[in-house]
């Protein structure tokens, strides 16, 4: 969500100013355009050259620069968000009382964008009634305070007052813009159910049957739905991947039966359901209580069918709901995909072919074909899974408005 966002970073005089270098680097890496403002005392902790190099923009140091007295006004109107990090006790006091004796404060008073601040100071300063009053006043202006951490402080004492870590600040900003976008998204007010990842079917306490699914595609779809305003329930099989998107609630499951139960429980409330998980079609008929020991002869395992989640939801689907399934094939791809579309009462089926290079399990890219029950067919070229997810969600939005 930070891609293309314009961020004004104000750096005040605190030892935590050294973290500004990491913060700028992470914001730029996330796709944001960053401009930095520094108080004179901040330059004693970190050089403007460091931050200008990392941000690829000149650092603002003075109210009047390059013969202009209005640069602070233009900067205040340029940004999507202004973040003061670190925000020292002195800077917080000046902000709360409208003082304007440096470029950071001049831009702050001119800012027409949301303002956020990450306090950084010793615990005694942080808990002082004057500081608390200043913070409360800034919050009354509609400004957003980032959490204050507890730990070792510059004084050598241990307590509250540490600035949020740069990684946490970037996550905070990402969530902020995600929630802001969601309020005006095409799927605002809609509820979505998404499954992702593999399932595992135990054979004994040690072994199981599973597949190579990583969950990347399903997670990307969940995030794309959330970015368009939907409240998403993600039912996620065993994978080391996940999402921190604020509009996504994740339920972790292991087996096909657990995924079935989670989907049945949530489907009725969903406007959209996208079943991207690679669910086991079969499981061991008997699960041993103890580890099966190796023998000289071969091992015979009886398998039984698992419940078909997609077909079950298809029988329960209301006309107002959009149900999307995936079809991963190695042969007769189009034929099998269209059969699934009809047999399971889907509105959209996404065809993956393992014959396409760069598509399928564990890749960061995918190449898919979309088939709707209305007869529309769309071939999507090889793209990142994030881009493919956005295309799939665009197709879902079309179905919602059809």
Does the annotation flag 132 for ligand binding? no
Which is nearest to 30 in space by CA: 55, 53, 10, 49?
55
pLDDT (0 to 100) of residue 210: 93
More confident residue, 359 or 390: 390
- Mean pLDDT confidence for 163-176: 94
Reported as a pLDDT band with limits 50, 70 and 90, residue 50 is: very high
pLDDT (0 to 100) of residue 328: 83
pLDDT (0 to 100) of residue 22: 98
- Mean pLDDT confidence for 122-149: 96
The answer to whether residue 70 scores a pLDDT higher than 60 is no
pLDDT (0 to 100) of residue 220: 95
Does the annotation flag 281 for ligand binding? yes
pLDDT (0 to 100) of residue 195: 98
pLDDT (0 to 100) of residue 157: 83
The answer to whether residue 65 scores a pLDDT higher than 70 is no
Q: How many CA atoms lie within 13 A of 318 on its CB side?
A: 9
Which is nearest to 191 in space by CA: 223, 139, 231?
231
Distance between CA atoms of residues 30 and 344, nearest Å = 40
Reported as a pLDDT band with limits 50, 70 and 90, residue 178 is: confident
* pLDDT > 70 fraction of the chain, expressed in percent and rounded: 97
Query: Is the Cβ–Cβ distance between 399 and 378 less than 8 Å?
Result: no
Omega before residue 131 within 30° of 0, cis: no
Query: Is the Cβ–Cβ distance between 50 and 21 less than 8 Å?
Result: yes
The answer to whether residue 68 scores a pLDDT higher than 60 is no
Q: How far is CA 183 from the centre of its chain?
A: 16
- 84-88, 223-227, 265-269, 398-402, range with the lowest pLDDT: 398-402
The answer to whether residue 273 scores a pLDDT higher than 90 is yes
| Alpha helix segments (H runs only) across 80-231 | 89-96, 103-110, 123-126, 129-140, 166-183, 216-227
Where do the domains of the chain lie? 6-177, 186-401
Take residue 389 and report the two structure tokens written for it. Answer: 């997810």
**365-372 and 377-384 strand pairing:** antiparallel
pLDDT (0 to 100) of residue 340: 94
Main-chain dihedrals φ then ψ at residue 79, nearest 5 degrees: -85, 155
Does the annotation flag 340 for ligand binding? yes
pLDDT (0 to 100) of residue 212: 87
Domain 6-177: which CATH number of 3.40.50.1950, 3.60.150.10, 3.50.50.60, 3.90.1720.10: 3.40.50.1950
Distance between CA atoms of residues 54 and 62, nearest Å = 20
Long-range contact set of residues 89-93: C-beta below 8 Å, sequence gap at least 24: 89/119, 89/121, 89/125, 89/126, 89/128, 89/131, 89/134, 90/12, 90/13, 91/10, 91/12, 91/13, 91/39, 92/117, 92/119, 92/131, 92/134, 92/135, 92/138, 93/130, 93/131, 93/134
Reported as a pLDDT band with limits 50, 70 and 90, residue 69 is: low
CATH topology of domain 186-401: Rossmann fold (3.40.50)
The answer to whether residue 100 scores a pLDDT higher than 80 is yes
Token pair 């750096």: residue: 11
Does the annotation flag 385 for ligand binding? no
The answer to whether residue 359 scores a pLDDT higher than 70 is no
| Alpha helix segments (H runs only) across 30-88 | 48-55, 71-78
Which is nearest to 326 in space by CA: 314, 310, 313, 342?
310
Catalytic residue among 90, 149, 211, 345: 211
Token pair 């930095």: residue: 36
pLDDT (0 to 100) of residue 356: 73
- 14-28, 70-84, 153-167, 232-246, range with the lowest pLDDT: 70-84
Which class for 286: exposed (0-12), middle (13-18), buried (19 or more C-beta within 10 A)? Answer: exposed
Q: What is the chain's mean pLDDT, rounded? A: 92
- 238-242, 327-331, 381-385, range with the lowest pLDDT: 327-331
The answer to whether residue 84 scores a pLDDT higher than 90 is yes
pLDDT (tens digit, 9 = 90+) per residue, 285-313?
Answer: 999 999 988 877 888 889 999 999 999 99
Reported as a pLDDT band with limits 50, 70 and 90, residue 324 is: very high
| Secondary structure of residue 166 in the 3-state scheme | helix
Reported as a pLDDT band with limits 50, 70 and 90, residue 401 is: confident
Reported as a pLDDT band with limits 50, 70 and 90, residue 62 is: confident
Distance between CA atoms of residues 131 and 120, nearest Å = 11
Strand order in the sheet with 248-252: 248-252, 231-236, 191-196, 272-275, 322-329, 348-353, 365-372, 377-384
Distance between CA atoms of residues 130 and 137, nearest Å = 11
Does the annotation flag 94 for ligand binding? no
The reply to whether 57 belongs to the active site is no
- Mean pLDDT confidence for 304-323: 96
Question: Which helix (DSSP H) or strand (DSSP E) does residue 192 occupy?
Answer: strand 191-196
pLDDT (0 to 100) of residue 330: 81
């Amino acid at each position: 969500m930070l891609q293309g966002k314009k961020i004004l970073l104000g750096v005040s005089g605190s030892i935590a100013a050294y973290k500004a270098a990491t913060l700028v680097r992470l914001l730029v890496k996330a796709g944001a355009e960053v401009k930095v403002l520094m108080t004179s005392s901040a330059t004693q902790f970190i050089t403007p050259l460091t931050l200008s190099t990392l941000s690829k923009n000149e650092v603002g140091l003075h109210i009047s620069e390059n013969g202009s007295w209005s640069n602070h006004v233009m900067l205040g109107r340029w940004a999507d968000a202004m973040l003061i990090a670190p925000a020292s006790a002195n800077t917080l006091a000046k902000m709360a009382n409208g003082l304007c004796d440096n470029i950071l404060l001049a831009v702050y008073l001119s800012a027409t964008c949301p303002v956020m601040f990450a306090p950084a100071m010793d615990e005694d300063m942080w808990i002082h009634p004057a500081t608390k009053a200043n913070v409360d006043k800034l919050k009354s202006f509609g400004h957003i305070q980032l959490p204050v951490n507890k730990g070792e402080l510059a004084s050598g004492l241990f307590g509250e007052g540490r600035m949020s870590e740069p990684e946490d600040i970037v996550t905070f900003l990402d969530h902020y813009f995600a929630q802001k976008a969601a309020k005006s998204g095409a799927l605002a007010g809609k509820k979505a159910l998404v499954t992702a990842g593999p399932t595992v079917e135990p054979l004994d306490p040690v072994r199981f049957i599973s597949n190579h699914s990583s969950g990347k595609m399903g997670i990307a779809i969940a995030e794309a739905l959330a970015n368009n305003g939907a409240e998403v329930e993600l039912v996620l099989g065993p994978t080391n991947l996940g999402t921190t998107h604020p509009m996504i609630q994740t339920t972790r499951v292991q087996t096909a039966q657990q995924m079935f139960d989670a989907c049945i429980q949530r489907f009725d409330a969903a406007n959209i359901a996208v079943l991207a998980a690679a669910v086991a079609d079969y499981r061991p008929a008997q699960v041993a209580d103890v580890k099966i020991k190796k023998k000289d002869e071969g091992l015979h395992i009886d398998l039984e069918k698992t419940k078909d989640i997609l077909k079950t939801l298809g029988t329960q689907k209301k006309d107002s709901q959009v149900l999307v399934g995936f079809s991963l094939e190695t042969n007769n791809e189009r034929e099998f995909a269209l059969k699934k579309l009809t047999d399971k009462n889907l509105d959209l089926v996404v065809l993956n072919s393992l014959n396409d290079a760069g598509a399928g399990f564990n890749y960061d890219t995918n190449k898919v074909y979309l088939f709707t029950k209305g007869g529309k067919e769309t071939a999507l070229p090889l793209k990142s899974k994030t881009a493919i997810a956005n295309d799939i969600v665009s197709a879902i939005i079309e179905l919602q408005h059809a």
